[in-house]
């Protein structure tokens, strides 16, 4: 049994995002009255079976989907009460979203995909990010010619190139072998801690969740903190 203290060692926590009393449904209720906080320097994982609503929570927290009930606060601002242009500005300037289904530009090369982020963020493509994600030799290849795992690493590199304050990662390592998954996760964690940001990661993989500071499980429409994973 692994006994791990998930809470931050520092007693002072600075919340960057607070989601309060969220409920959402599509054809049927997915979750009801759940709350979650993402603190500065905190890596938070959400576990849960397929279809439980993990991606939906990630979309709500990352400005992409207004919840049926509840509020998401970025600092003291209620995200979905802000003008849409302002929501877009926050998304563009502060958020890096790694989607479950990559959303890379298929007809383009790896380099061109990274250049788009680099243009948005006005940050150079960082050679060390290419190396850390192991895609330095794929730059001129077309996205469609890459394996699923390589595409996944390009989408991680693309988000890191943007240098966001907050990363939302939806199953970012689902197509990677466990060694590569751990290495890539470590790089993302190191980056987030170094800039005093925060990261929410949705995953099926308990070994990846264990690398986080705080772990939740979405089950029976409720989100509960997990204090121990066997």
Ligand X SMILES: Nc1ncnc2c1ncn2[C@@H]1O[C@H](COP(=O)(O)OP(=O)(O)OP(=O)(O)O)[C@@H](O)[C@H]1O
Binding site for ligand X (CB under 6 A): 26, 30, 48, 50-56, 100
For 20, half-sphere exposure in the C-beta direction (CA atoms, 13 angstrom radius) is 11
What b/e readout covers 51-68, taking b as 16+ CB neighbours within 10 angstroms? ebbbbbbbbbbbbbbebe
Smallest distance from the beta carbon of 15 to Mg ion, in angstroms? 25
- Contacts (CB under 5 A) with Mg ion, residues 1-30: none
55 is a site residue for Mg ion (CB under 5 A): yes
Smallest distance from the beta carbon of 64 to ligand X, in angstroms? 10
The continuous run of DSSP H or E covering 48 comes out as none
Nearest Cα to Cα of residue 40 among 67, 68, 10, 66: 10
SS3 for 170? strand
The continuous run of DSSP H or E covering 93 comes out as helix 84-94
Smallest distance from the beta carbon of 89 to ligand X, in angstroms? 24
Stretch that binds Mg ion, among 8-16, 22-30, 100-108, 124-132 (CB under 5 A): 100-108
Going by the DSSP 8-state scheme, the letter that residue 134 receives in this structure is T
Pair 40, 14: CB distance under 8 Å: yes
Q: Could you tell which of Mg ion, ligand X, none binds residue 56, using a CB distance below 5 to 8 A set by kind?
A: ligand X
56 is a site residue for Mg ion (CB under 5 A): no
Measured from the CB atom, the residue of 159 and 218 that comes closer to ligand X is 218
Residue 204: count of CB within 10 angstroms of its CB: 14
Measured from the CB atom, the residue of 48 and 96 that comes closer to ligand X is 48
Smallest distance from the beta carbon of 171 to ligand X, in angstroms? 6
The residues of the shown chain that bind Mg ion, judged by CB under 5 A, are 55, 100
């Amino acid at each position: 049994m692994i006994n791990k203290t998930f809470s931050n060692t520092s007693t002072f926590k600075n919340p960057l995002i607070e989601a309060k009393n969220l409920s959402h449904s599509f054809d049927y209720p997915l979750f009801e009255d759940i709350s979650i906080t993402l603190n500065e320097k905190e890596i938070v994982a959400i576990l849960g079976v397929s279809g439980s609503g993990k991606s939906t929570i990630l979309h709500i927290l990352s400005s992409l989907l207004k919840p049926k009930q509840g509020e998401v606060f970025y600092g003291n601002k209620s995200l979905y009460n802000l003008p849409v242009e302002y929501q877009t500005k926050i998304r563009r300037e502060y958020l890096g979203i790694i989607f479950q289904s990559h959303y890379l530009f298929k007809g383009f090369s790896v380099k061109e995909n990274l250049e788009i982020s680099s243009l948005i963020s006005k940050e150079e493509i960082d050679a060390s990010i290419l190396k850390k994600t192991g895609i330095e030799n794929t730059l001129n290849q077309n996205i469609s010619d890459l394996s699923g795992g390589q595409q996944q690493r390009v989408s991680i590199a693309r988000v890191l190139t943007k240098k966001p304050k907050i990363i939302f990662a939806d199953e970012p390592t689902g197509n990677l072998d466990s060694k590569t998954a751990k290495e890539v996760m470590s790089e993302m964690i190191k980056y987030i801690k170094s800039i005093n940001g925060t990261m929410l990661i949705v995953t099926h993989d308990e070994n990846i969740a264990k690398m986080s500071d705080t772990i939740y499980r979405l089950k029976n429409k409720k989100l509960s903190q997990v204090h121990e994973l066997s």
